[in-house]
Amino acid sequence: MIAHYGWSDLLAESFTPHARAGHMPGRIVVQQRNGYLVVTDQGELRAKPSGRLMHETVEDGRPAVGDWVALSLNPGERTATLHAILPRRTAFVRLAVASAATVQVIASNIDVAFVVASLNADLNPRRIERYLAAAWQSGARPVVVLTKADLCDDPEARAAEIAALATDCPVVVVSARQGQGLEGLLAHLEPGETCVLIGSSGAGKSTLVNAFLGEARMATKAVREGDDKGRHTTSHRELVRLAGGGLIIDTPGMREVGLIGEDEGVTAVFEDVEALVGQCRFSDCGHGGEPGCAVRAALESGELDPARWAHFQKLGLELAAVEAKADQAAKDAQRRARKQHRASKQADRDGD
């Protein structure tokens, strides 16, 4: 069964130490507050992580949908215990809501990220830029999916606007209600590959999954009247297998994702802005009144959208702040370790 969920010879090789320990492989397909559902060669099993696994890992090391894991069966039950997580190829992450310094894994071992946005009044280019940056950071191939084309007077024009900011990224217009664009979208997902759907509540992620499956498996809800903003329907993360052999992960809606402290994703999304910055006469140009500022010239000529420039600056400041917090956290950890070491040495002296 796990062969249908992406199991490979490479994964089997990395699993060898766990096999020697008597564990079996599986892939997490559902993540809920009270545990996980894992697909194995013995069927689907309810599972919970071992106390040791939870004790030895931080937030981004905890099990997540898409993870390949080593588990043991609990005697006499159709349940299992998770003992280890195999190394992740890729992972879509965000900063945890409760802590600006904690990274949370949304989905792992993904090949494609469908960045889903609705062609209604809530379509937000700046939010799409942020999602794209996070998608590029994950290591997956991003595809922008513009849903609810049947509710838009000129969907192709709106798609062209988004394509202008989504450099080197396909933009696909779909209407699940009318069946428009679904085959073209699935063409971006090869058999055996895993895709994650990311986007705001009400963007149509669960509706897309239902359309792919041909059944109402995922709960859906209409957007609010007045502002076209969505309401949360998906309350957990779930990986499902499609008829064509592809795998797709639905996730709860996120209004925004906090970027982690790396700039590869931002660079990929803002290649045009980065190029302009590199053309400035001075390497330390502040892009204000300095002579020879290519950014200022592009803004004045209309070549660069002021809103896009402002968002580029905002994301840069955000990444710098995250990096500063990470550096401070590392220094605090070193300080605590030195304090504990001194206390241990003092205790040894007192005992002599």
Of residues 248 and 352, the one with the higher pLDDT is 248
pLDDT bucket at 215, cuts 50 / 70 / 90:
low
- Domain assignment present for residue 258? The answer is no
**Token couple for 174:** 């779909």
Contact status, residue 19 vs residue 261, Cβ threshold 8 Å: no
Nearest to 162 by CA among 149, 136, 180, 144: 144
Does 77 lie in the same domain as 106? no
pLDDT in tens, 191-201: 999 999 998 87
Domain of residue 176 covers: 91-250
Give the 3-state secondary structure of residue 186: helix
Does 119 lie in the same domain as 64? no
CB neighbour list of residue 261: distance below 8 Å, 6 or more residues apart? 319, 322, 323, 326
Does 144 lie in the same domain as 280? no
Neighbours of 170 (CB within 10 A): 15
- Domain assignment present for residue 335? The answer is no
- Domain assignment present for residue 352? The answer is no
- Domain assignment present for residue 341? The answer is no
Q: What are the beta bridge partners of residue 45?
A: 38
pLDDT in tens, 224-265: 444 444 444 445 789 999 989 999 998 875 555 555 555 666
Burial class (CB in 10 A: 0-12, 13-18, 19+), 281: exposed
Does 244 lie in the same domain as 95? yes
pLDDT reported for residue 234:
46
pLDDT reported for residue 334:
58
Q: What are phi and psi of 201, to 5 degrees?
A: -60, 140
The CATH number linked to 222 is 3.40.50.300
pLDDT bucket at 268, cuts 50 / 70 / 90:
confident
- Domain assignment present for residue 125? The answer is yes
- How many distinct structural domains can be found in the chain? 3
- Domain assignment present for residue 168? The answer is yes
Does 96 lie in the same domain as 227? yes
pLDDT bucket at 333, cuts 50 / 70 / 90:
low
3-state secondary structure 260-307: CCCCHHHHHHCHHHHHHHHHCCCCCCCCCCCCCCHHHHHHHHCCCCHH
Does 131 lie in the same domain as 25? no
- Domain assignment present for residue 255? The answer is no
Domain ends where: 250, 278, 296? 250
Does 244 lie in the same domain as 271? no
Maximum C-alpha span of the chain: 83
* The pTM of the whole model exceeds 0.85: no
Domain ends where: 52, 85, 118? 85
Q: What are the beta bridge partners of residue 65?
A: none
Domain ends where: 85, 101, 117? 85
- Domain assignment present for residue 148? The answer is yes
Distances (CA, A) of 34 to 48, 93, 241, 268: 8, 21, 23, 37
Does 150 lie in the same domain as 25? no
